Structure formats: C-alpha cells, structure tokens
C-alpha cells in the first residue's frame, strides 16, 4: 500500500494558486496512480517538458490534442509531422517507459477548427492511429473517430480514462458578429450518436474508483468566444446528465487547446462532488500576451507559461492532487479535491 506523506488533508476544496516553490504539504510522495497530460505541441520546436514529465514517474501520459501541427490537405505532410515527433529523443524515452494514449484536436486532425465536414478525416484518422501504434487488426481501424477508453487497475484501486473525439462528428459552428469572438452558442452535435452511445455505456458500465474524461477542447469555460463545448450548450447539459445518471464514480474532465492552463469548477445537481475541468495547454508554446478573459467557473488564475498537467491519486482517501508544472518541473499552480 502506498503511503501518503506530509500532506495536510482538508475536507473541502482547496486551491493553492501561483506557487512557485515545491512545498512538503503539497505533494503525494508516493501516489497510487499518476496521470500526466498535455496538448499543443509543435514537432519542430524545442520540447523541454518531456524530462520533467518523466521525473514525476507517471503511469500514463494522455495527449490532449494538437499533438503535432500539420494543417494540410496533403496526408504526407501530416504523416511527416508525426514521424518527426516520434524521432524526438526525449519523447522516445517517454514511449519506452510510460503508457501513452490520447486524442487529437484540429491541427493534427488537419484543418483549423475542423469538424465533420473535413473531407480527409478518415485518412487523417489512420495516420493518428499509426502514431499511437494501434495494430492493423484493431477494431479502432474500422471505427469512425479516434475515441477510446482504458481501465487501469492497481492493488489500491482502479481508474478509467475515456478519451473523446470532438472533431470527427462535430457539426458546424456558428460564427459570431462580435468582433472579439469567433463563435457564438447555437444548436449542434459535438460527439455524434455513435460516440454518445459509446460514452454512455463506458460510464454506466464503469466500476472504476475514478473516471477521467479527456476532451480536446474545454467543457466548462464558455465565454471566450473560441472553440468550446459551450458553443453547443445543450451538449454540455447532455454530458452532465450522462455523468450524473450513469452512476460512474468521481468523474474528472481534462482539456487542452487554449494555449493557457486553468482550473474550472461547477456544481452539478445529483453529484456528490464538484465537476472540475483541468485545462493544460501548451507543451511548446502558449498565449504569452494573455491579458485576461471571463470564465465564471475559473478557480485560481490563468497560467500562460508552457506546462503540463499532473493528477496524483490516493484511492484510499479519495484524494486527487492536480498540478500544473513547467520547465525544470516547477510547480506553477495546484488544486486538491477530496472525492467521496
């Protein structure tokens, strides 16, 4: 049994924002399970975060999308981008020692803000599966979309990671007349009927102690006018409803895309815990000029430095320590939550 060391546990949600230093009471020295994740990674730029990620000894790394940048109708260019990323020496060390899974977003999908109308989505999907070394005889090769789920079991507890595809089935977005916003809310479909049915079954049938859902775009933050689940408000409510009635334990949302990192939180009727959306973006570049934007669900501050996300689990205590870490493994912000 792994031991929780020097951690003061509070029975309410506690945010510790803007910390630049490691603190003894902010770490699980030996967590039962650790997830690392990140998004927005340019394959032809310096990638200084793989070593810090590995220093945390994650059990799994989850790509959050924009794993490479290769907006192109030419599939050879996308293929070349994936091959270049795989050649990165420090990423190779990751592949050699850590389970890797994840989803895509628009720039590795092949079209900026692209959705179901992208004519090369099927060809792009096969290249994505090649990047993740998915066997040729896998059912994922014949399934529309790149969504997947994996369950991880330890002696202390279990955890399911559900990776969604917010590209393949997504209907068109409504352009905004507001010059400060790209899109505005409208009716539409984010996941498509097939994926919605699959997600529902994955949650209903889950016996895991925690269920972590990876969405390439933010689920809760909705006021900024860029891509977000909030552009389809009914889809947000549908997701909350499925989480609530599925009976799946302790659901946590992860997201990327924005070139900033932040924590968002909301209360959902019928859930015995807050629903948290942990956004981590990006791995190689960020919105350095960020000067602020509204997010009614934000807890803490926006981090606009390159960073990756960590989730450290103590199954026995129901504790999850969520961290944003940057160069040299520096702690940029943390959030702690006790789950029932």
- Give me the chain's average pLDDT, please: 93
Question: Rounded mean pLDDT of 252-278?
Answer: 98
Burial (CB < 10 A; 0-12, 13-18, 19+), residue 209, is: buried
What's the Rg (C-alpha) of the chain? 19
Instruction: Report pLDDT for 12.
Output: 33
Residue with tokens 């850590």: 98
Instruction: Note the pLDDT tens digit of each residue in 295-311.
Output: 999 999 999 999 999 99
Q: What band does 6 get if pLDDT is binned at 50, 70 and 90? A: very low
| Dihedral angle over CA of 190, 191, 194, 198, nearest 10 | -140
Instruction: Note the pLDDT tens digit of each residue in 32-48.
Output: 999 999 999 999 999 99
Instruction: Note the pLDDT tens digit of each residue in 65-124.
Output: 999 999 999 999 999 999 999 999 999 999 999 999 999 999 999 999 999 999 999 999
φ/ψ of residue 253, rounded to 5: -100, 140
Of 26-40, 155-169, 309-323, give the lowest mean pLDDT range.
26-40
Instruction: Report pLDDT for 5.
Output: 34
Instruction: Report pLDDT for 29.
Output: 81
Is a pLDDT exceeding 50 seen at residue 135? yes
Contact between residue 211 and residue 162 where contact means Cβ atoms under 8 Å apart: yes
Is a pLDDT exceeding 60 seen at residue 215? yes
């Amino acid at each position: 049994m792994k031991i929780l060391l020097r951690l003061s546990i509070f029975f309410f949600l506690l945010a510790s924002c803007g910390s630049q230093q490691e603190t003894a009471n902010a770490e699980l020295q030996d967590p039962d399970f650790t997830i690392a994740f990140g998004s927005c990674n340019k394959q032809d730029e310096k990638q200084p975060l793989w070593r810090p990620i590995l220093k945390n000894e994650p059990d799994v790394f989850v790509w959050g999308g924009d794993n490479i940048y290769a907006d192109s109708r030419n599939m050879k260019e996308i293929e070349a981008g994936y091959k270049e990323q795989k050649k990165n020496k420090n990423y190779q060390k990751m592949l050699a020692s850590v389970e890797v899974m994840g989803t895509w977003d628009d720039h590795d999908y092949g079209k900026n803000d692209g959705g179901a109308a992208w004519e090369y989505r099927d060809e792009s999907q096969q290249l994505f599966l090649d990047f993740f070394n998915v066997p040729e005889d896998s059912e994922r090769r014949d399934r529309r979309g790149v969504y997947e789920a994996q369950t991880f079991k330890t002696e202390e507890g279990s955890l399911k990671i559900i990776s969604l595809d917010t590209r393949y089935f997504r209907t068109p977005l409504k352009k905004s007349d507001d010059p400060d916003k790209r899109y505005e809310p409208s009716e539409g479909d984010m996941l498509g009927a097939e994926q919605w049915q699959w997600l529902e079954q994955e949650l209903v049938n889950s016996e895991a102690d925690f269920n972590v859902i990876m969405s390439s775009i933010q689920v809760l933050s909705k006021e900024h006018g860029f891509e977000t689940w909030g552009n389809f408000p009914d889809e947000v409510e549908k997701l909350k409803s499925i989480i609530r009635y599925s009976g799946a334990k302790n659901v946590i949302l992860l997201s990327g895309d924005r070139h900033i990192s932040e924590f968002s939180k909301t209360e959902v009727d019928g859930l015995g815990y807050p629903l948290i959306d942990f956004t981590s973006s990006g791995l190689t570049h960020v919105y350095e000029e960020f000067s602020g934007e509204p997010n009614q669900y934000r807890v803490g501050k926006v981090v606009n430095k390159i960073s990756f996300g960590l989730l450290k689990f103590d199954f026995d205590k129901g504790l999850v320590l969520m961290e944003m870490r940057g160069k040299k493994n520096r702690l940029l912000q943390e959030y702690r939550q006790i789950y029932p």
